[in-house]
Amino acid sequence: MTVRPDVVVLGSGVIGLSTGIRLAEGGARVLVRTAAPPARTTSALASAMVGPNLSPPDDPQHAWTDETLRVLRAEPMPGVAVRDGTLAARPAGATPPFAERTPGFRPLADDERPAGFGTAFAVRLPLVDMPVYLAYLLGRLREAGGAVREEPVGSLDEAAALAPVVVNCTGLAARALTGDPDLHPVRGPRIVVRNPGLDRFFMEAPMAPTWASIFPHGDHVVLGGAQRRSDDTTPDPAEAADILARCAAIEPALAGAEVLEHTVGLRPGRAAPRVEAERRGGALVVHNYGHAGNGVMLSWGCARDAAALALGAPPA
């Protein structure tokens, strides 16, 4: 981009790309500056289920989730498939408030629930195959005129020298850029196995440090179910074996499935996402980071509000 951009977006994960698209499609000249390409972000490691919307209606996360669900249901996008699945919890009577609003909601009878689960209900939600989806978002951003340059900024002031508006979508790296003490790494392993024939997903409520999640994406299945405050991204074979065993106890077809990938991502943990604007010298800096384990789910809602703040309009 030779012309001075209207907005510099920092980051090309799901948050930076969605926000960049909203801005570029709204007519702004957008430059994305990123430390790593989309395929090497935390976003590429998400599982990734969108919904259910269990936050109270007055929590901003409720409206953000609703907006993402609206966008994903309205516009077919590569990597996104609406699938039937089961949400479950070990204790009985643990159906969360608002669960019955989820599309496809149906409590499962005693003989339909996996062994060891006192609560389980069927739902129908979008699952996102993140590498495919991020490649689509990148192409859509470029089609809307957005430019992408792979070079990290050293500070928000450096970014502010590039354009009158900066949107900070740097995920966990926002810790270094802003000094935000609330932002912390939450380690999450991701195991990818060859799909033995599953088409339904399964997600155990993450009420403990470990749980089971099974997300089929065509020829492969993404398994997960661990969170720990740590910035260690070294894959741990014992942790992977534990996840495989927990998932196979629910879906026996997964026992012995060929492991294709074992990686570890760091969720950008924060009590709540930070979506707000601040003045920095002559520039407007809009923050959009700290989405913890829900960045995909909140992406289009936060993109809408961050873009509105960047363009000087009040968020919806």
Ligand X SMILES: Cc1cc2nc3c(=O)[nH]c(=O)nc-3n(C[C@H](O)[C@H](O)[C@H](O)COP(=O)(O)OP(=O)(O)OC[C@H]3O[C@@H](n4cnc5c(N)ncnc54)[C@H](O)[C@@H]3O)c2cc1C
Q: How far apart are the first and last CA of the chain?
A: 30
Closest CB 244 distance from ligand X, rounded Å: 15
CA distances from residue 170 to 31, 53, 146 in whole angstroms, order as listed: 14, 25, 17
Closest CB 288 distance from ligand X, rounded Å: 7
Closest CB 42 distance from ligand X, rounded Å: 3
* Residue (34 or 53) nearer to ligand X, CB: 34
Closest CB 140 distance from ligand X, rounded Å: 15
* Residue (7 or 177) nearer to ligand X, CB: 177
Q: Is 295 annotated as a binding residue?
A: no
Q: Which of 312, 253, 248 is nearest to 286 (CA)?
A: 312
* Residue (44 or 252) nearer to ligand X, CB: 44
Binding stretches for ligand X (CB under 6 A) = 10-16, 33-36, 41-43, 45-49, 152-153, 169-173, 177, 188, 190, 224, 265, 267-268, 289, 291-297
Kindly state the tokens that stand for 18: 């969605």
Alpha helices in the chain (DSSP H): 14-25, 60-74, 130-143, 156-160, 174-178, 237-250, 295-310
* Residue (119 or 168) nearer to ligand X, CB: 168
Q: Is 153 annotated as a binding residue?
A: yes
Question: Distance of alpha carbon 313 from its chain centroid, rounded?
Answer: 25
Kindly state the tokens that stand for 299: 């992406």
Identity of the amino acid at 49? M
Counted residue by residue, the chain has a size of: 316
Q: Is 296 annotated as a binding residue?
A: no
Q: Is 42 annotated as a binding residue?
A: yes
Q: Is 34 annotated as a binding residue?
A: no
Binding site for FAD, by residue number, is 42-43, 153, 170
Binding site for D-dopa, by residue number, is 267, 293
